[in-house]
Structure 1
Amino acid sequence: MTDSTQRPGRRGSALSKDRIVQAAISILDNEGAAGLTFRALAGRLKTGSGAIYWHVADKDELLAAATDHVIAKFEPQDVGRLSPQEAIRALALGVFDAIDSHPWVGAQLSGNPFQYAVLRILEGLGTQVVALGIPEKGRFNAATALLSFMLGLAAQYAVASHHFRDGSDRTTALRAVAAKWMELDPEQHPFIHQVAPLLPVHDDREQFMAGIDLILAGIDTSR
């Protein structure tokens, strides 16, 4: 949870938790989680590591705060003007764009499903599930089905960020994967042969939203 409250003894300091989180995000965007150390952060902020510890207990807390900051930034605004279905789609797109813009966020969301950033997403989904008129006993299942699909995207991006780390572009890498798929026995894997040509050219965003729409259709049927 993003919290700019300073710890005792640092009142009036120019260094705030928000500045620390912003600097951490910059390092994460450029170097990934492995590059985020308190030493690197202190160098970026031109301060000592001890000053940072006044605001952040450890790297896990810092990663959680950075992840929540990014997710909050991509939250849709004025959802009250949208239908519940439109609000869920807007929230889903916000999560997609957050992960797409900051690939390290995918690893953080999928690696710790109980952090506040995940609860922030679940709260947004649950509010709209209630607005859809889903009976109380089905609300948890409906909201977590949507959440699980989004965290699946997060995990997929976490893997992809490692897969493409050698500098290969997405299309080239997926063409290589598709070529491997086409080497499989077509009698044992007819569907794989059918979809392999689509792999290098499919649009991740469109496919993701198609999945959200399928879940929404199922939720609507459950009413």
Structure 2
Amino acid sequence: MLSREQIIDAAIGLLDSGGEGALTVRALSERLATGSGAIYYHVGNRDQLLDTATETVITSALETESSQAVATPEEEIRRVALALFDAIAEHHQWLATRLTLQIVRNPAGPVTVEIFERIGRQVGALGVPRASWFDATSTLVHYILGAVSQNARMDGDTSGIQPDMDREEFFDATSTAWQELDPENYPFMHAIVGQTKQHDDRDQFLTGIAIVLAGLTHLR
């Protein structure tokens, strides 16, 4: 008998393989060898299915992360951030966009509430004054979502750059273009050319988290 979980798993498979465009009721019906009525009965319409798929992936990522022992608030924030980073990297075809939409459109939804609660508790534990909790937590969440979304688009969607250009080729081309700039007018760009080609996205992401956390100490 077809279950809700089977439908969601199949939907995530379609999304991972071809992005949002690949997820249609017809494609899902064919994959599950069922009629569209069964899909609508279990998960509702396509938008509801996309929301449910997003909730399923994010909830699973955060549950896996929370099973580990945590020593400090900073470490917990980094682990939550990396759980989101890794989930979006794994589902780069679609998850970044859907996660952002959920947070914007459904501030009372389980995804938004869970992310803000998990990070917000640690902001309080860092000693940030209560009056600054919302601004501080929002800043962290905005950085996390912005950074992981940019990384996901680099991995999964290079349209607008070159359709057949992968990440390494993109940064090689970028470095070459920056090297051709006038060094007198653009000394900083010349100074970071080597770093651009060699940087690790995950390490860069964690550096950003560290910068934000260091800034929060001034709110104490």
- Report what 1:27 is aligned to: 14
Amino acid at match of 1:142: A
| Residue 136 (structure 1) shift | 1.0
Superposition pairs of residues 106-185 of structure 1, within 5 angstroms: 106-114=96-104, 115=106, 116=109, 117-160=111-154, 161-163=156-158, 166-185=163-182
> Residue 48 in 1 paired to residue 42 in 2?
no
Amino acid at match of 2:172: R
Amino acid at match of 2:157: H
Match of 1:67 among 54, 73, 84: 54
TM-score by length of 2: 0.86
| Residue 122 (structure 1) shift | 1.6
CA distance, structure 2, for counterparts of residue 222 and residue 89 of structure 1:
19
CA distance, structure 1, for counterparts of residue 49 and residue 186 of structure 2:
45
| Residue 210 (structure 1) shift | 0.7
Q: Please give the root-mean-square deviation of Cα atoms over the aligned residues, in Å.
A: 2.0
Match of 2:91 among 81, 92, 102: 102
Residue correspondences, number: 210
Amino acid at match of 2:142: S
Kept after mapping to 2: 8 A contact 1:16/1:55: yes
Query: Which segments of 5 or more consecutive residues in structure 2 lack a partner in the other structure?
Result: none
| Residue 26 (structure 1) shift | 0.7
Kept after mapping to 1: 8 A contact 2:96/2:152: yes
Kept after mapping to 2: 8 A contact 1:181/1:193: yes
CA distance, structure 1, for counterparts of residue 88 and residue 178 of structure 2:
27
Choose between structure 1 and 2: higher helix proportion. Answer: 2
TM-score by length of 1: 0.85
> Residue 188 in 1 paired to residue 185 in 2?
yes
Amino acid at match of 2:143: F
| Residue 79 (structure 1) shift | 6.1
Amino acid at match of 1:90: R
CA distance, structure 1, for counterparts of residue 53 and residue 200 of structure 2:
28
Deviations 1:158-180 (A, max 9, x none): 43221178453321221112222
- Report what 1:3 is aligned to: none
Query: Which segments of 5 or more consecutive residues in structure 1 lack a partner in the other structure?
Result: 1-13
CA distance, structure 1, for counterparts of residue 13 and residue 73 of structure 2:
34
Kept after mapping to 2: 8 A contact 1:107/1:157: no
CA distance, structure 2, for counterparts of residue 21 and residue 95 of structure 1:
19
